[in-house]
Each structure stands twice: as structure tokens, then as C-alpha cells.
């Protein structure tokens, strides 16, 4: 029997068993069994449409700033390494010093991009560090979802305070729906303080492809309760799925740690999720190609500078291949940050980095995705 059919049959058997148990109301067993049913279901459904989700340079539109030498150089290197056609490399006229686009400026950007959005374009890559905002939205979310103030905490309905936002239609979306026509065009920012940093990031993404890494994932509850609102998700994921495809998951409870982090001097780090304004010891770790790391805090996506809260680019400089941070105060809703319970299963069963990362955030309107989008460490097999 082909492996696809075997998994389908096993999932069906597990589901039958779960149904039997439900009838007998053994809730404790149901809780243990259900995640495995879902995992097997995901596994064989992902294999079924794997070929339709594959991305190459032919699916990428690169945007670079015309008057920015670094932006142009990064775009050219990426295009060469990922074989992006010259017709899909587009120079944009943008103010090099502005962090935020107005609504009218963004409308002009959309008009410039629109003629280049052929059916094959599924990824839009921005090779600069600013602008990173469109009014109250991140620029990556505005490019992908379109500008809509409902994706912001503060809009016509809410002028002040903390509020959830509109949900992303891409949250935990199936591959078949993600590849609908016209396709969703996922965006990500790729840059650095200098060309060497950006080049190293691109090279890591390419090195990740098909690498089937063996390493570790660290999901950390820190002493900062306000920035650790994802900890129940972390703990549940590790208890249900402690190891898969060579990745060992660790739930780390650092609530009572006075100084530093328990995640230091780690040699095979593939995932790192935490919550602090400044994450210590990240440069002591070795990050595997394709690694994803992020921290829940207010201003991680606010540019590349050293001031204030730690920026997402510090993760990339430490060796991660992608990160995520908000560009405006989101408050600490876990829905506004990556959910590893969605991210890991999708990434580890064949999604490209950009696909899995985008699927993992329920309310990404204020969040900026940065990294090498096409990295694909695992196949669907």
C-alpha cells in the first residue's frame, strides 16, 4: 500500500477509535489521542497537494529602492541565488529616511506593483529596512492583505486602548486554499545593516533547503508575565508533540530566573520563541539554517536600530533565518504573534518558511515578517 494510503488509513483508524472513546466519554484518552489524529490528517492532506505549494524564484517579485545602493545590491544577489527573472525585479521610488508610508503613498506603491503581479507571483520580497509601516499596519501585512484599518488596534471604532484586530484570512489556511486563483501574495522583508549580513541570511535560507535538520526547539516562559502570554500554547505543544522529524521540543520555565536565559550556548537551535523586551544570550547559540526565532514585545518590528526594545534583526544577526515583530503597540494578545502550534507542523511538513510563518499569526496586521522567504528544510514526505 502506498505511504499516502497507509497514513490515510491509519488516520481513519485513529478517528474511529476516538469516536468509540467519545461515546464512552473517556475524556482523558480523547485529549491524548486527538492531536495525533489531527497530525496524521495534516500529514496525508499536505502530501496530496504538496506540488502545488512549491515555490521557486519564478514565484517571487523583488522590490528594491531605486536610490538605495544597499537595497539594490541585496535584490541583485537574491535574484541571482534564487534565479528570479529580471522582469520580476522592480525598482521603487521611496523616501529612504521615512519609516512610515501615508495612505496615499501606499496607494501609489500598489499602483506601481500591480502591473507586475502576474499569476505566477506568490511572494513579494522587500529589500529594505524602512519604510516598515503603512500608517498603523506593517508594510508586509499591508502589501499582502491590502490596507485596512480594521487590521489595527486603533481605528474609527477604537481610538485608544488595547483591542484585538481583524483576523487574517491566511491563518492556518490549507494549502489548496492558499493556492487559489488569484493566489495570495505573501510578503516579507529581507535586509540588514550591511550587505554581508543580508548575504549571510540569503545563504542560510538556501542552505536550509532539503536539509532535514536535527536539532531543538525552545519555547520559553520568562519572568516577564506581560510578554509571556503565549506560554500556555508553548506548554501544550511540547506536552502533545515532544519530538518530530528530528526536532526535540523543550518547554522552558524561566519565571524565577533572575539573570540571563536558560537558552544559552545551544548548538542545534531550530526554533526559539520567547517574550522579553531584550532577550539575553542569543549570540551564544548556534542556529541551524532555516531557524525561526521571535520574541513577544511591543516594538520588535520598529526598524533595525539598537535603541529601545530589541529588534527582530538581532535574531537574524545571531543566525536565525526569519523573525517577526510588531511595528506599533499591539498589546500582548497572543493572537498578534506567531503561534508555534500552527507554525511548526506546517513548516515541518513541507511549507516554505514564508508560508508557515504567515499561517501562524491570527492577527498579523501590526506585525512585520523578516527573513529569507523560500527556505524549505523539510519536504512533505
> Could you give the count of Cα atoms lying within 13 Å of 156 in the half-sphere of its Cβ?
3
- 72: in domain: yes
| Residue 377, pLDDT above cutoff 50 | yes
Is the per-residue pLDDT at 30 higher than 70? no
Tell me, yes or no, whether 245 and 289 share the same domain.
yes
Q: Name the pLDDT band for 181 (thresholds 50, 70, 90).
A: low
Residue 28 pLDDT class (50, 70, 90 cuts):
low
* Domain boundaries, position 40: 3-48
What is the reported pLDDT for 52? 55
- Same domain assignment for residues 93 and 140: yes
Q: Is residue 64 part of a domain?
A: yes
The answer to whether residues 172 and 91 belong to one domain is: yes
Q: How many domains does the chain have?
A: 3
Give yes or no: residues 60 and 44 share one domain.
no
Q: Has residue 375 been placed in a domain?
A: no
226 and 319 belong to one structural domain: yes
Question: According to the model, what pLDDT value does residue 146 have?
Answer: 97
State how far the alpha carbon of 60 is from the alpha carbons of 16, 68, 221, 357, 360, in Å.
43, 20, 36, 17, 21
Per-residue pLDDT tens over the stretch 38-63: 454 444 444 445 555 799 999 999 99
Is position 185 within any domain? no
Whether the bond into 131 is cis, omega within 30 of 0: yes
pLDDT at 49: 52
Residue 358 inside a domain? The answer is yes
67 lies in the same domain as 16: no
Q: What is the mean pLDDT of residues 131-140?
A: 98
Residue 203 counted as domain residue: no
CA angle (307, 309, 313) in 5-degree steps: 80
Domain identity same for 213 and 355: yes
Q: What is the pTM of this model?
A: 0.88
The answer to whether residue 378 is domain-embedded is no
> 167 and 88 in one domain?
yes
Amino acid at each position: 500500500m502506498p505511504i499516502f494510503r497507509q497514513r490515510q488509513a491509519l488516520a481513519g483508524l485513529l478517528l474511529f477509535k476516538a469516536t468509540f472513546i467519545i461515546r464512552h466519554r473517556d475524556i482523558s484518552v480523547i485529549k491524548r489521542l486527538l492531536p495525533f489524529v489531527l497530525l496524521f490528517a495534516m500529514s496525508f492532506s499536505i502530501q496530496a497537494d504538496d506540488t502545488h505549494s512549491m515555490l521557486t524564484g519564478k514565484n517571487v517579485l523583488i522590490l528594491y529602492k531605486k536610490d538605495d545602493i544597499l537595497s539594490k545590491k541585496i535584490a541583485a544577489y537574491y535574484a541571482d541565488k534564487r534565479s528570479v527573472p529580471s522582469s520580476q525585479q522592480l525598482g521603487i521610488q521611496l523616501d529612504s529616511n521615512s519609516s512610515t508610508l501615508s495612505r496615499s503613498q501606499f496607494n501609489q506603491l500598489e499602483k506601481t506593483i500591480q502591473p507586475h503581479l502576474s499569476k505566477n507571483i506568490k511572494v513579494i520580497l522587500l529589500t529594505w529596512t524602512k519604510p516598515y509601516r503603512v500608517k498603523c499596519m506593517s508594510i508586509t501585512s499591508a502589501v499582502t492583505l491590502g490596507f485596512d484599518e480594521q487590521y489595527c488596534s486603533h481605528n474609527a471604532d477604537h481610538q485608544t486602548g488595547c483591542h484585538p484586530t481583524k483576523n487574517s484570512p491566511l491563518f492556518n489556511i490549507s494549502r489548496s486554499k492558499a493556492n487559489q486563483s488569484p493566489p495570495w501574495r505573501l510578503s516579507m522583508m529581507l535586509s540588514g545593516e550591511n550587505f554581508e549580513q543580508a548575504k549571510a541570511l540569503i545563504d542560510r535560507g538556501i542552505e536550509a533547503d532539503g536539509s532535514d535538520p536535527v536539532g531543538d526547539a525552545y519555547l520559553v516562559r520568562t519572568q516577564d508575565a506581560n510578554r509571556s502570554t503565549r506560554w500556555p500554547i508553548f506548554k501544550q505543544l511540547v506536552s502533545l508533540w515532544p519530538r518530530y522529524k528530528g526536532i526535540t521540543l523543550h518547554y522552558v520555565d524561566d519565571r524565577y530566573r533572575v539573570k540571563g536565559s536558560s537558552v544559552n550556548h545551544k548548538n542545534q537551535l531550530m526554533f526559539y520563541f520567547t517574550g522579553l523586551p531584550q532577550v539575553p544570550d542569543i549570540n551564544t547559540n548556534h542556529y541551524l539554517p532555516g531557524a525561526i526565532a521571535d520574541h513577544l514585545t511591543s516594538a520588535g518590528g520598529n526598524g533595525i536600530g539598537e535603541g529601545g526594545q530589541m529588534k527582530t534583526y538581532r535574531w537574524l544577526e545571531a543566525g536565525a533565518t526569519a523573525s517577526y515583530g510588531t511595528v506599533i503597540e499591539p498589546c500582548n494578545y497572543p493572537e498578534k504573534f506567531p503561534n508555534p502550534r500552527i507554525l511548526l507542523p506546517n513548516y515541518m511538513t513541507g511549507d516554505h518558511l514564508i508560508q508557515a510563518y504567515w499561517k501562524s499569526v491570527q492577527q498579523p496586521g501590526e506585525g512585520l515578517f523578516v527573513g529569507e522567504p523560500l527556505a524549505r528544510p523539510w519536504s512533505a514526505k
